Amino acid sequence: MHFSFSEIRSRAGHGHVHVHPIAVWRRLVIVAVMVAVSGFLFRDFVSAGLVNRGDDLLRAGEAARSVQFYQRAMFFDPAWETPVDRLAFAASISGNAHAFKYGITVATAYLAHNQSEKVLWDRAMCYLHLNMRPQAYADMKRLARLTFPRHDDDARRYADISYNLAMRLGKQSEARQFAYMRVVR
């Protein structure tokens, strides 16, 4: 059924339609719901944008501020390796003991559910900066054994660091194993 505009106006009763404006609180609720839904639907893009901003700050020498953006990115996409890696890396180059500990905490939480060579490396570096050699050795040993089948430069680097840490910790028998791993091509 089709109505003309004049028929619609006459059916409204007084010749005009009275529309009530939407209350301000309802508008705010609608906007908040729309923002939340958009954030959920586009969380990957939001997370990537936050990581890019953190990277810009890190390159500008503002490691402390970059960590804030990596934390926000982790909030939007907690399973994504990149913000965790970058946060732990920023912590490892900060020169701050609290940042090292925070990087270790974040990396450990991530590694409890995911496997990541990059995050494991960053955690090992934070351990080394705190002179926690046994923990760094455990991570490096794990990295060396995980990557040994690749026979690439990273695998040799991990084996070399594992060798040096084993020697410093007085574990000569384990060090011999890494001595072999670091020369295999």
> Which has the minimum average pLDDT: 43-57, 118-132, 142-156?
142-156
Q: 102, 131, 160 — which closes off a domain?
A: 131
CATH number of the domain where residue 86 is located: 1.25.40.10
Amino acid at 63: A
Amino acid at 27: R
- Higher-pLDDT residue of 167, 11: 167
48 and 68 in a single domain? The answer is yes
Is the model's pTM score more than 0.85?
A: no
For the purposes of burial, counting CB atoms within 10 Å of the CB of 159, is it exposed (0-12), middle (13-18) or buried (19 or more)? buried
118 and 150 in a single domain? The answer is no
For the stretch 26-39, pLDDT in tens is 999 999 999 888 87
Instruction: Report the chain's mean pLDDT, rounded to a whole number.
Output: 87
11 part of a folded domain: no
126 and 141 in a single domain? The answer is no
Please report which helix (H) or strand (E) contains residue 102, including its range. Answer: helix 97-111
Does residue 184 have a pLDDT over 70? Answer: no
Number of domains in the chain: 2
The predicted structure's pLDDT at residue 108:
95
Contact 161, 142 (CB under 8 A): no
For the stretch 36-64, pLDDT in tens is 888 788 888 889 999 999 999 999 988 88
101 and 174 in a single domain? The answer is no
| Residue 135 vs residues 76, 124, 126, 131, 142: alpha-carbon distances, Å | 30, 7, 10, 9, 11
**Containing structural domain, residue 184:** 133-185
